[in-house]
């Protein structure tokens, strides 16, 4: 099972954007909205997490993204494999 979790530095920072300190992303692999068939990742407010949104959260709030399947996350969000703030976990 794929894991994709946004990790905020602290609960107070996460609360500023309406999320938990560890926020699990919904992965809609069975419904791939992109024309390339890549998975789509949604935030709790059902907003799609894309490259721009991830970088905004990382740069402004210190968020990191933890995943166990780097390739799917990178393809789905549209970021390179060596994107800062993305951590592979088991």
Q: Give the pLDDT confidence of 46-88 residue by residue, as tens digits.
A: 888 999 999 999 999 999 999 999 998 999 899 999 999 999 9
Q: 24 is written with which tokens?
A: 């699990």
CB 86 within 8 A of CB 67: yes
Q: How do residues 9-38 score in pLDDT, each as one tens digit?
A: 999 999 999 999 999 998 876 555 555 667
Dist. CA 34–CA 12, nearest whole Å: 33
Dist. CA 7–CA 31, nearest whole Å: 25
User: Which residue would you say has higher pLDDT here, 37 or 1?
Assistant: 1
Please tell me the predicted confidence (pLDDT) of residue 34.
53
Length of the chain: 90
Predicted TM-score (pTM) of this structure: 0.88
Lookup result for tokens 């935030």: 43
């Amino acid at each position: 099972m794929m894991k994709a979790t946004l990790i905020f530095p602290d609960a107070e920072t996460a609360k500023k954007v309406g999320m938990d300190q560890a926020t699990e992303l919904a992965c809609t692999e069975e419904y791939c909205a992109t024309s390339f068939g890549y998975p789509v990742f949604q935030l709790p407010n059902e907003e799609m997490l894309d490259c721009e949104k991830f970088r905004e959260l990382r740069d402004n709030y210190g968020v990191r993204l933890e995943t166990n399947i780097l390739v799917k996350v990178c393809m789905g969000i549209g970021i390179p494999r060596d994107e800062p703030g993305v951590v592979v976990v088991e």
